[in-house]
Protein backbone atom coordinates (compact mmCIF):
# COMPACT_ATOMS: atom_id res chain seq x y z
CA UNK A 1 0.00 0.00 0.00
CA UNK A 2 1.28 3.46 -0.82
CA UNK A 3 1.24 5.90 2.06
CA UNK A 4 -1.31 8.65 1.76
CA UNK A 5 -0.26 12.29 1.80
CA UNK A 6 0.60 13.59 5.24
CA UNK A 7 -0.20 17.07 6.46
CA UNK A 8 2.79 19.31 6.02
CA UNK A 9 4.33 22.02 8.09
CA UNK A 10 7.17 24.37 7.33
CA UNK A 11 8.62 24.27 10.80
CA UNK A 12 9.98 21.27 12.64
CA UNK A 13 9.16 20.23 16.23
CA UNK A 14 8.36 23.15 18.55
CA UNK A 15 11.38 24.23 20.49
CA UNK A 16 9.81 23.93 23.93
CA UNK A 17 9.78 20.18 23.66
CA UNK A 18 13.51 19.95 24.25
CA UNK A 19 15.06 21.01 27.51
CA UNK A 20 18.40 22.64 26.95
CA UNK A 21 20.04 21.06 29.96
CA UNK A 22 19.22 17.43 29.41
CA UNK A 23 20.40 15.11 26.70
CA UNK A 24 17.43 14.31 24.56
CA UNK A 25 17.75 10.80 23.19
CA UNK A 26 17.61 7.47 25.00
CA UNK A 27 20.42 6.18 22.81
CA UNK A 28 22.41 9.29 23.62
CA UNK A 29 21.94 8.73 27.32
CA UNK A 30 23.45 5.35 26.71
CA UNK A 31 26.55 6.73 25.12
CA UNK A 32 27.41 10.02 26.75
CA UNK A 33 27.93 11.18 30.27
CA UNK A 34 28.49 14.86 30.91
CA UNK A 35 30.24 16.26 33.95
CA UNK A 36 26.84 17.53 35.24
CA UNK A 37 25.18 14.17 35.06
CA UNK A 38 25.65 10.88 36.79
CA UNK A 39 26.98 8.28 34.39
CA UNK A 40 24.23 5.97 33.15
CA UNK A 41 24.62 2.21 33.02
CA UNK A 42 23.55 2.81 29.47
CA UNK A 43 23.78 -0.06 26.99
CA UNK A 44 23.61 -2.56 29.80
CA UNK A 45 20.23 -1.18 30.78
CA UNK A 46 18.96 -0.67 27.22
CA UNK A 47 19.99 -4.09 25.97
CA UNK A 48 19.69 -6.49 28.90
CA UNK A 49 20.49 -9.51 26.74
CA UNK A 50 24.16 -8.56 26.47
CA UNK A 51 26.63 -8.70 29.31
CA UNK A 52 29.12 -6.42 27.53
CA UNK A 53 29.50 -3.33 29.73
CA UNK A 54 29.03 -0.15 27.73
CA UNK A 55 31.85 2.36 27.90
CA UNK A 56 30.53 5.61 29.35
CA UNK A 57 32.54 8.68 28.47
CA UNK A 58 32.28 12.40 28.94
CA UNK A 59 31.82 14.48 25.82
CA UNK A 60 35.48 15.46 25.86
CA UNK A 61 36.47 11.81 26.17
CA UNK A 62 34.25 10.92 23.20
CA UNK A 63 35.95 13.63 21.16
CA UNK A 64 39.36 12.18 22.13
CA UNK A 65 38.08 8.75 21.16
CA UNK A 66 36.97 10.08 17.78
CA UNK A 67 40.33 11.75 17.14
CA UNK A 68 42.12 8.54 18.03
CA UNK A 69 40.05 6.18 15.91
CA UNK A 70 39.10 8.25 12.88
CA UNK A 71 41.87 8.92 10.37
CA UNK A 72 42.94 12.42 9.47
CA UNK A 73 41.90 11.96 5.83
CA UNK A 74 38.44 12.92 7.04
CA UNK A 75 38.84 16.60 7.87
CA UNK A 76 36.52 18.17 10.44
CA UNK A 77 35.66 21.76 11.27
CA UNK A 78 35.28 21.17 15.03
CA UNK A 79 35.16 18.22 17.44
CA UNK A 80 31.73 18.94 18.91
CA UNK A 81 29.65 15.80 19.55
CA UNK A 82 26.18 16.43 18.15
CA UNK A 83 23.32 14.44 19.61
CA UNK A 84 20.28 16.12 18.14
CA UNK A 85 19.19 18.25 15.23
CA UNK A 86 16.02 20.28 15.49
CA UNK A 87 14.93 22.60 12.69
CA UNK A 88 17.70 25.19 12.35
CA UNK A 89 19.63 24.00 15.39
CA UNK A 90 22.23 21.42 16.25
CA UNK A 91 22.42 20.42 19.89
CA UNK A 92 25.69 19.25 21.35
CA UNK A 93 26.14 16.53 23.95
CA UNK A 94 26.64 19.31 26.49
CA UNK A 95 23.26 20.82 25.63
CA UNK A 96 24.70 23.75 23.69
CA UNK A 97 22.49 24.98 20.82
CA UNK A 98 24.19 25.93 17.57
CA UNK A 99 22.48 27.88 14.79
CA UNK A 100 23.25 25.75 11.76
CA UNK A 101 24.03 27.69 8.59
CA UNK A 102 25.54 24.61 6.91
CA UNK A 103 22.51 22.26 6.70
CA UNK A 104 24.96 19.35 6.50
CA UNK A 105 26.42 20.98 3.34
CA UNK A 106 23.11 21.79 1.71
CA UNK A 107 21.36 18.54 2.60
CA UNK A 108 18.75 19.14 5.31
CA UNK A 109 16.88 21.73 3.24
CA UNK A 110 13.74 21.21 5.36
CA UNK A 111 15.65 21.55 8.61
CA UNK A 112 16.85 18.85 10.94
CA UNK A 113 14.35 16.07 11.66
CA UNK A 114 11.43 17.62 9.84
CA UNK A 115 8.42 15.90 11.47
CA UNK A 116 6.79 14.89 8.18
CA UNK A 117 10.00 13.34 6.84
CA UNK A 118 10.95 11.65 10.10
CA UNK A 119 7.43 10.22 10.52
CA UNK A 120 7.49 8.79 7.00
CA UNK A 121 10.90 7.20 7.59
CA UNK A 122 9.79 5.77 10.94
CA UNK A 123 6.68 4.29 9.36
CA UNK A 124 8.75 2.78 6.55
CA UNK A 125 11.26 1.29 9.00
CA UNK A 126 8.52 -0.91 10.44
CA UNK A 127 7.21 -2.12 7.10
CA UNK A 128 10.18 -2.61 4.72
CA UNK A 129 13.77 -1.45 5.20
CA UNK A 130 15.59 -3.02 2.28
CA UNK A 131 14.43 -4.29 -1.08
CA UNK A 132 17.41 -4.63 -3.38
CA UNK A 133 16.49 -2.79 -6.55
CA UNK A 134 17.78 -5.45 -8.98
CA UNK A 135 15.56 -8.08 -7.38
CA UNK A 136 12.18 -6.32 -7.26
CA UNK A 137 10.58 -2.90 -7.03
CA UNK A 138 9.89 -1.37 -3.63
CA UNK A 139 6.75 0.72 -3.27
CA UNK A 140 8.56 3.89 -2.02
CA UNK A 141 10.99 3.69 -4.97
CA UNK A 142 8.08 3.89 -7.41
CA UNK A 143 6.22 6.41 -5.30
CA UNK A 144 9.23 8.73 -5.29
CA UNK A 145 9.44 8.61 -9.09
CA UNK A 146 5.73 9.41 -9.22
CA UNK A 147 6.34 12.44 -6.95
CA UNK A 148 9.37 13.68 -8.90
CA UNK A 149 8.05 13.27 -12.45
CA UNK A 150 5.73 16.31 -12.47
CA UNK A 151 8.45 18.64 -11.10
CA UNK A 152 11.18 17.72 -13.57
CA UNK A 153 12.53 20.83 -15.31
CA UNK A 154 11.72 19.27 -18.69
CA UNK A 155 9.17 16.59 -19.61
CA UNK A 156 11.85 14.61 -21.48
CA UNK A 157 13.38 13.74 -18.08
CA UNK A 158 11.24 10.69 -17.42
CA UNK A 159 13.50 7.77 -16.50
CA UNK A 160 15.24 7.44 -13.12
CA UNK A 161 17.97 5.51 -11.36
CA UNK A 162 18.53 5.99 -7.63
CA UNK A 163 21.82 5.57 -5.84
CA UNK A 164 23.17 6.57 -2.40
CA UNK A 165 25.62 9.46 -2.76
CA UNK A 166 26.14 12.33 -5.15
CA UNK A 167 29.46 10.95 -6.35
CA UNK A 168 27.89 7.60 -7.21
CA UNK A 169 25.12 9.31 -9.15
CA UNK A 170 27.70 11.38 -11.05
CA UNK A 171 29.45 8.14 -11.99
CA UNK A 172 26.13 6.67 -13.15
CA UNK A 173 25.65 9.73 -15.35
CA UNK A 174 29.11 9.25 -16.89
CA UNK A 175 28.42 5.57 -17.48
CA UNK A 176 25.11 6.40 -19.13
CA UNK A 177 26.71 9.05 -21.33
CA UNK A 178 29.51 6.74 -22.44
CA UNK A 179 27.25 3.76 -23.13
CA UNK A 180 24.58 5.82 -24.89
CA UNK A 181 27.00 7.68 -27.17
CA UNK A 182 29.71 5.07 -27.59
CA UNK A 183 32.21 7.91 -26.92
CA UNK A 184 34.66 8.30 -24.06
CA UNK A 185 35.66 11.91 -23.46
CA UNK A 186 34.05 13.95 -20.69
CA UNK A 187 34.36 17.75 -20.61
CA UNK A 188 34.23 19.35 -17.16
CA UNK A 189 34.83 22.86 -15.84
CA UNK A 190 37.58 24.52 -13.86
CA UNK A 191 36.39 24.91 -10.24
CA UNK A 192 33.76 22.17 -10.59
CA UNK A 193 33.12 19.66 -7.83
CA UNK A 194 31.45 16.32 -8.49
CA UNK A 195 32.77 14.05 -5.70
CA UNK A 196 35.90 12.31 -4.45
CA UNK A 197 35.66 8.81 -5.93
CA UNK A 198 37.96 7.73 -8.76
CA UNK A 199 35.46 8.66 -11.48
CA UNK A 200 33.82 11.72 -9.94
CA UNK A 201 37.19 12.87 -8.55
CA UNK A 202 38.62 12.78 -12.07
CA UNK A 203 36.18 15.51 -13.15
CA UNK A 204 36.50 17.54 -9.92
CA UNK A 205 38.53 20.70 -10.41
CA UNK A 206 37.86 22.80 -7.30
CA UNK A 207 40.89 21.84 -5.17
CA UNK A 208 43.79 19.49 -5.77
CA UNK A 209 43.50 17.99 -2.27
CA UNK A 210 40.49 15.89 -3.27
CA UNK A 211 42.53 13.58 -5.48
CA UNK A 212 46.16 14.48 -4.76
CA UNK A 213 48.41 11.42 -4.65
CA UNK A 214 45.67 8.99 -5.67
CA UNK A 215 45.97 8.80 -9.45
CA UNK A 216 45.68 7.57 -12.06
CA UNK A 217 42.02 8.56 -12.01
CA UNK A 218 39.44 7.89 -14.70
CA UNK A 219 40.86 8.86 -18.09
CA UNK A 220 39.34 10.76 -21.00
CA UNK A 221 38.68 13.95 -19.01
CA UNK A 222 39.17 17.48 -20.38
CA UNK A 223 38.67 20.62 -18.29
CA UNK A 224 37.86 24.06 -19.64
CA UNK A 225 37.28 27.49 -18.07
CA UNK A 226 34.09 28.29 -16.16
CA UNK A 227 32.74 31.82 -16.69
CA UNK A 228 34.19 32.97 -13.37
CA UNK A 229 36.82 35.68 -13.26
CA UNK A 230 39.34 33.56 -11.30
CA UNK A 231 39.01 30.78 -13.85
CA UNK A 232 39.73 33.28 -16.65
CA UNK A 233 42.45 35.30 -14.91
CA UNK A 234 40.53 38.59 -15.02
CA UNK A 235 39.35 40.90 -12.23
CA UNK A 236 36.13 40.61 -10.25
CA UNK A 237 34.82 43.71 -12.01
CA UNK A 238 34.80 42.05 -15.45
CA UNK A 239 31.28 42.27 -16.94
CA UNK A 240 29.33 39.01 -17.22
CA UNK A 241 29.11 39.20 -21.03
CA UNK A 242 32.91 39.31 -21.22
CA UNK A 243 33.23 36.32 -18.86
CA UNK A 244 30.86 34.38 -21.11
CA UNK A 245 32.76 35.38 -24.24
CA UNK A 246 36.07 34.27 -22.76
CA UNK A 247 34.70 30.95 -21.48
CA UNK A 248 33.14 30.25 -24.89
CA UNK A 249 36.50 30.95 -26.49
CA UNK A 250 38.27 28.49 -24.16
CA UNK A 251 35.71 25.79 -24.94
CA UNK A 252 36.14 26.40 -28.65
CA UNK A 253 39.92 26.01 -28.27
CA UNK A 254 39.46 22.79 -26.31
CA UNK A 255 37.27 21.26 -29.02
CA UNK A 256 39.69 22.32 -31.76
CA UNK A 257 43.01 21.58 -30.11
CA UNK A 258 42.55 18.93 -27.44
CA UNK A 259 39.63 16.64 -28.19
CA UNK A 260 37.44 16.34 -31.28
CA UNK A 261 33.76 17.01 -30.55
CA UNK A 262 32.76 13.67 -32.07
CA UNK A 263 34.78 11.93 -29.35
CA UNK A 264 33.04 13.75 -26.50
CA UNK A 265 30.33 11.77 -24.71
CA UNK A 266 29.22 14.51 -22.33
CA UNK A 267 29.84 17.89 -20.76
CA UNK A 268 29.06 18.12 -17.05
CA UNK A 269 28.36 21.41 -15.31
CA UNK A 270 26.98 22.69 -12.02
CA UNK A 271 24.51 25.51 -12.73
CA UNK A 272 25.93 27.18 -9.62
CA UNK A 273 29.41 25.93 -8.74
CA UNK A 274 29.41 24.77 -5.12
CA UNK A 275 32.85 23.79 -3.85
CA UNK A 276 34.23 26.13 -6.51
CA UNK A 277 32.91 29.13 -4.55
CA UNK A 278 29.13 29.44 -5.09
CA UNK A 279 29.48 30.89 -8.55
CA UNK A 280 26.26 31.03 -10.61
CA UNK A 281 26.76 30.17 -14.26
CA UNK A 282 25.42 32.92 -16.55
CA UNK A 283 22.40 31.58 -18.48
CA UNK A 284 24.01 32.69 -21.77
CA UNK A 285 26.88 30.26 -21.20
CA UNK A 286 24.52 27.38 -20.33
CA UNK A 287 22.60 28.02 -23.57
CA UNK A 288 25.85 28.13 -25.50
CA UNK A 289 26.75 24.71 -24.09
CA UNK A 290 23.32 23.39 -25.12
CA UNK A 291 23.90 24.61 -28.67
CA UNK A 292 27.42 23.12 -28.88
CA UNK A 293 26.17 19.80 -27.49
CA UNK A 294 23.25 19.71 -29.94
CA UNK A 295 25.55 20.48 -32.86
CA UNK A 296 27.93 17.62 -32.04
CA UNK A 297 25.68 14.96 -30.50
CA UNK A 298 27.21 15.51 -27.04
CA UNK A 299 25.08 14.93 -23.92
CA UNK A 300 24.75 17.75 -21.42
CA UNK A 301 24.77 16.71 -17.76
CA UNK A 302 23.52 19.16 -15.13
CA UNK A 303 24.93 18.33 -11.70
CA UNK A 304 22.16 19.54 -9.39
CA UNK A 305 23.48 17.66 -6.35
CA UNK A 306 23.85 20.86 -4.34
CA UNK A 307 21.59 23.23 -6.28
CA UNK A 308 18.47 21.03 -6.37
CA UNK A 309 15.36 21.00 -4.18
CA UNK A 310 14.85 24.76 -3.86
CA UNK A 311 18.36 25.55 -2.64
CA UNK A 312 18.61 28.26 -5.32
CA UNK A 313 14.93 29.27 -5.12
CA UNK A 314 13.53 26.89 -7.76
CA UNK A 315 12.94 23.15 -7.54
CA UNK A 316 15.97 22.73 -9.80
CA UNK A 317 18.45 25.44 -10.64
CA UNK A 318 18.27 24.91 -14.42
CA UNK A 319 14.75 26.37 -14.22
CA UNK A 320 16.30 29.83 -13.75
CA UNK A 321 17.81 29.65 -17.24
CA UNK A 322 15.36 27.27 -18.92
CA UNK A 323 18.26 24.93 -19.76
CA UNK A 324 17.26 21.41 -20.83
CA UNK A 325 19.84 18.91 -19.64
CA UNK A 326 20.04 15.44 -21.21
CA UNK A 327 20.93 13.97 -17.84
CA UNK A 328 20.36 15.55 -14.44
CA UNK A 329 22.11 14.39 -11.29
CA UNK A 330 20.54 14.99 -7.87
CA UNK A 331 21.21 14.02 -4.23
CA UNK A 332 21.51 15.98 -0.94
CA UNK A 333 18.09 17.71 -0.53
CA UNK A 334 16.09 14.91 -2.16
CA UNK A 335 15.53 13.03 1.11
CA UNK A 336 16.50 15.68 3.69
CA UNK A 337 19.47 13.75 5.09
CA UNK A 338 18.69 10.14 4.28
CA UNK A 339 21.34 8.83 1.89
CA UNK A 340 19.77 9.00 -1.53
CA UNK A 341 20.88 10.27 -4.93
CA UNK A 342 19.89 9.68 -8.50
CA UNK A 343 20.03 10.45 -12.17
CA UNK A 344 17.17 11.22 -14.48
CA UNK A 345 17.26 11.19 -18.26
CA UNK A 346 15.06 10.26 -21.20
CA UNK A 347 13.90 6.66 -21.38
CA UNK A 348 15.22 6.28 -24.90
CA UNK A 349 18.76 7.11 -23.64
CA UNK A 350 18.52 5.10 -20.43
CA UNK A 351 17.41 2.07 -22.45
CA UNK A 352 20.67 2.14 -24.39
CA UNK A 353 22.39 0.84 -21.26
CA UNK A 354 23.09 -2.87 -20.96
CA UNK A 355 20.81 -4.72 -18.55
CA UNK A 356 22.57 -4.95 -15.19
CA UNK A 357 25.10 -2.20 -15.90
CA UNK A 358 23.44 -0.02 -13.23
CA UNK A 359 22.74 -1.16 -9.69
CA UNK A 360 24.04 -1.29 -6.14
CA UNK A 361 23.12 -3.15 -2.99
CA UNK A 362 21.59 -0.19 -1.19
CA UNK A 363 20.67 1.85 -4.27
CA UNK A 364 17.27 3.47 -3.77
CA UNK A 365 16.86 2.17 -0.22
CA UNK A 366 13.20 1.93 0.80
CA UNK A 367 13.52 4.09 3.94
CA UNK A 368 15.49 6.78 2.07
CA UNK A 369 12.89 6.74 -0.73
CA UNK A 370 10.03 7.06 1.78
CA UNK A 371 11.85 10.05 3.29
CA UNK A 372 12.25 11.37 -0.25
CA UNK A 373 8.52 11.09 -0.92
CA UNK A 374 7.71 12.94 2.30
CA UNK A 375 10.28 15.63 1.48
CA UNK A 376 8.62 16.22 -1.91
CA UNK A 377 5.24 16.52 -0.17
CA UNK A 378 6.63 19.38 1.89
CA UNK A 379 8.43 21.01 -1.04
CA UNK A 380 5.28 20.83 -3.12
CA UNK A 381 3.24 22.95 -0.71
CA UNK A 382 4.95 26.06 -2.13
CA UNK A 383 5.85 27.37 1.34
CA UNK A 384 9.54 26.59 0.96
CA UNK A 385 9.84 28.42 -2.36
CA UNK A 386 8.24 31.53 -0.86
CA UNK A 387 10.47 31.39 2.20
CA UNK A 388 13.67 31.07 0.13
CA UNK A 389 12.70 34.19 -1.84
CA UNK A 390 12.07 36.24 1.32
CA UNK A 391 15.03 35.01 3.37
CA UNK A 392 17.56 35.24 0.55
CA UNK A 393 16.53 38.85 -0.09
CA UNK A 394 17.04 39.56 3.62
CA UNK A 395 20.49 37.95 3.56
CA UNK A 396 21.68 39.55 0.29
CA UNK A 397 20.55 42.98 1.46
CA UNK A 398 22.64 42.59 4.60
CA UNK A 399 25.69 41.30 2.72
CA UNK A 400 25.47 44.09 0.12
CA UNK A 401 25.29 46.58 2.97
CA UNK A 402 28.59 45.18 4.25
CA UNK A 403 30.12 45.63 0.79
CA UNK A 404 28.76 49.20 0.57
CA UNK A 405 29.94 50.15 4.04
CA UNK A 406 33.14 52.26 4.29
CA UNK A 407 34.01 50.20 7.39
CA UNK A 408 34.01 46.78 5.73
CA UNK A 409 33.66 47.21 1.94
CA UNK A 410 37.42 47.05 1.34
CA UNK A 411 37.52 43.47 2.64
CA UNK A 412 35.00 42.09 0.16
CA UNK A 413 35.72 41.11 -3.44
CA UNK A 414 32.27 39.79 -4.34
CA UNK A 415 28.87 38.81 -2.93
CA UNK A 416 27.24 36.11 -5.01
CA UNK A 417 24.96 33.10 -5.17
CA UNK A 418 21.37 32.26 -5.93
CA UNK A 419 18.55 31.71 -3.44
CA UNK A 420 20.00 30.42 -0.18
CA UNK A 421 23.24 29.24 -1.77
CA UNK A 422 25.06 32.39 -0.75
CA UNK A 423 28.70 33.38 -0.49
CA UNK A 424 31.04 36.25 0.25
CA UNK A 425 34.44 36.16 -1.42
CA UNK A 426 36.97 38.22 0.50
CA UNK A 427 39.96 39.95 -1.02
CA UNK A 428 43.29 38.17 -0.63
CA UNK A 429 46.48 40.20 -0.21
CA UNK A 430 48.29 37.49 -2.19
CA UNK A 431 45.85 37.58 -5.13
CA UNK A 432 45.91 40.77 -7.23
CA UNK A 433 42.70 39.77 -9.09
CA UNK A 434 40.77 40.24 -5.86
CA UNK A 435 42.35 43.64 -5.11
CA UNK A 436 41.15 45.52 -8.15
CA UNK A 437 39.30 48.77 -7.51
CA UNK A 438 40.93 49.28 -4.10
CA UNK A 439 42.54 52.59 -3.20
CA UNK A 440 46.36 52.23 -3.17
CA UNK A 441 47.88 51.17 0.18
CA UNK A 442 44.58 49.86 1.54
CA UNK A 443 45.40 47.21 4.10
CA UNK A 444 43.79 43.84 3.38
CA UNK A 445 44.35 41.20 6.07
CA UNK A 446 44.95 37.50 5.39
CA UNK A 447 42.44 34.67 5.92
CA UNK A 448 39.41 36.90 6.44
CA UNK A 449 36.93 34.09 5.79
CA UNK A 450 38.45 31.80 8.41
CA UNK A 451 38.49 34.63 10.95
CA UNK A 452 34.85 35.47 10.24
CA UNK A 453 33.95 31.78 10.53
CA UNK A 454 35.80 31.51 13.86
CA UNK A 455 34.05 34.61 15.25
CA UNK A 456 30.68 33.13 14.24
CA UNK A 457 31.48 29.76 15.79
CA UNK A 458 32.39 31.42 19.08
CA UNK A 459 28.84 32.83 19.05
CA UNK A 460 27.28 29.46 18.18
CA UNK A 461 26.68 30.18 14.51
CA UNK A 462 28.08 27.43 12.29
CA UNK A 463 29.18 28.38 8.76
CA UNK A 464 31.48 26.86 6.15
CA UNK A 465 34.18 28.26 3.93
CA UNK A 466 34.50 27.00 0.36
CA UNK A 467 36.81 26.99 -2.68
CA UNK A 468 40.56 27.58 -2.87
CA UNK A 469 39.90 31.33 -2.66
CA UNK A 470 38.91 33.17 0.53
CA UNK A 471 35.18 32.49 0.47
CA UNK A 472 32.61 31.91 3.20
CA UNK A 473 29.24 30.39 2.34
CA UNK A 474 25.85 30.52 4.01
CA UNK A 475 23.54 27.56 3.36
CA UNK A 476 20.86 27.51 6.04
CA UNK A 477 17.93 25.13 5.89
CA UNK A 478 15.26 26.63 3.68
CA UNK A 479 12.85 26.85 6.63
CA UNK A 480 15.00 29.52 8.28
CA UNK A 481 12.79 32.15 9.91
CA UNK A 482 13.18 35.91 9.64
CA UNK A 483 14.37 36.04 13.28
CA UNK A 484 16.92 33.26 12.80
CA UNK A 485 18.19 34.93 9.66
CA UNK A 486 18.46 38.26 11.47
CA UNK A 487 20.33 36.64 14.34
CA UNK A 488 22.84 35.16 11.88
CA UNK A 489 23.13 38.46 9.96
CA UNK A 490 23.91 40.34 13.18
CA UNK A 491 26.68 37.88 14.04
CA UNK A 492 28.13 37.85 10.50
CA UNK A 493 28.07 41.66 10.34
CA UNK A 494 29.82 41.94 13.69
CA UNK A 495 32.34 39.31 12.57
CA UNK A 496 33.32 41.20 9.39
CA UNK A 497 33.43 44.51 11.29
CA UNK A 498 35.65 42.88 13.88
CA UNK A 499 38.17 41.72 11.24
CA UNK A 500 38.11 45.22 9.69
CA UNK A 501 38.80 46.76 13.10
CA UNK A 502 41.59 44.36 14.06
CA UNK A 503 43.14 44.48 10.58
C1 LIG B 1 27.72 19.55 -7.14
C2 LIG B 1 28.09 18.31 -6.38
N3 LIG B 1 28.22 17.15 -7.04
C4 LIG B 1 28.55 16.02 -6.41
C5 LIG B 1 28.79 16.00 -5.05
C6 LIG B 1 29.18 14.74 -4.37
O7 LIG B 1 28.15 14.29 -3.55
P8 LIG B 1 28.46 13.29 -2.35
O9 LIG B 1 29.27 14.03 -1.35
O10 LIG B 1 27.10 12.91 -1.85
O11 LIG B 1 29.18 12.13 -2.95
C12 LIG B 1 28.67 17.19 -4.31
C13 LIG B 1 28.93 17.22 -2.88
O14 LIG B 1 29.09 18.23 -2.24
C15 LIG B 1 28.31 18.37 -5.00
O16 LIG B 1 28.21 19.55 -4.35
443 Cα–ligand 1 center, Å: 36
- Residue 326, ligand 1, Cβ within 6 A: no
Cβ burial, residue 458 (10 Å; 0-12/13-18/19+): exposed
Domain 120-379, CATH class in plain words: alpha beta
- pLDDT above 60 (res 338): yes
358 Cα–ligand 1 center, Å: 19
pLDDT in tens, 298-333: 999 999 999 999 999 999 999 999 999 999 999 999
Report the nearest atom of ligand 1 relative to the CA of 339: 10
pLDDT in tens, 395-452: 999 999 999 999 999 999 999 999 999 999 999 999 999 999 899 889 999 999 999 9
| Mutate which of 109, 200, 332, 340 for ligand 1 pocket (most atoms within 8 A of beta carbon) | 332
- Residue 311, ligand 1, Cβ within 6 A: no
Quote the pLDDT of residue 58.
85
Q: Whose CA is nearest to atom 16 of ligand 1?
A: 306
Domain 383-502, CATH class in plain words: alpha beta
- Residue 193, ligand 1, Cβ within 6 A: yes
Percent of the chain with pLDDT over 70: 89
- pLDDT above 70 (res 8): no
Percent of the chain with pLDDT over 90: 87
Q: Whose CA is nearest to atom 7 of ligand 1?
A: 166
Task: Give dist(CA 348, CA 326) in Å, integer.
Answer: 11
User: Is-contact 156 15, C-beta < 8 A?
Assistant: no
Quote the pLDDT of residue 27.
42
For the whole prediction, is pTM greater than 0.85? Answer: yes
Confidence of residue 50 (pLDDT cuts 50, 70, 90): low
Domain boundaries, the chain: 15-100, 120-379, 383-502
Q: What is the DSSP string of 409-461?
A: GGGEEEEEEETTEEEEEEP-TT-GGGGTTPPTT----S-HHHHHHHHHHHTTE
| Mutate which of 200, 306, 334 for ligand 1 pocket (most atoms within 8 A of beta carbon) | 306
Amino acid sequence: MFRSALPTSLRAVPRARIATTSLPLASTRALIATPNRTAQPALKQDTPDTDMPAPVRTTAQWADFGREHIGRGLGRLRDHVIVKGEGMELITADGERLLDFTAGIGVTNLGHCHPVVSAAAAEQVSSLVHMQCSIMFSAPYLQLIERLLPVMPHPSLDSFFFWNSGAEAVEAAIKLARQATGRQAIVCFQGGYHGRTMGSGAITRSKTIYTQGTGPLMGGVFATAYPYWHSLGVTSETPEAELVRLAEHHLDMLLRQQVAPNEVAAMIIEPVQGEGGYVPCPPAFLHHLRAVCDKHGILLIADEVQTGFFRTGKYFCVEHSGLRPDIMVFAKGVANGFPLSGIVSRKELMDKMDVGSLGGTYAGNAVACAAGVASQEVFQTGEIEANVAARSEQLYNALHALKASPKTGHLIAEIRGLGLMTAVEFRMPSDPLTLSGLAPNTHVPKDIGKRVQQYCLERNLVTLTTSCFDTIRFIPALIVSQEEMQKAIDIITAAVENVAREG
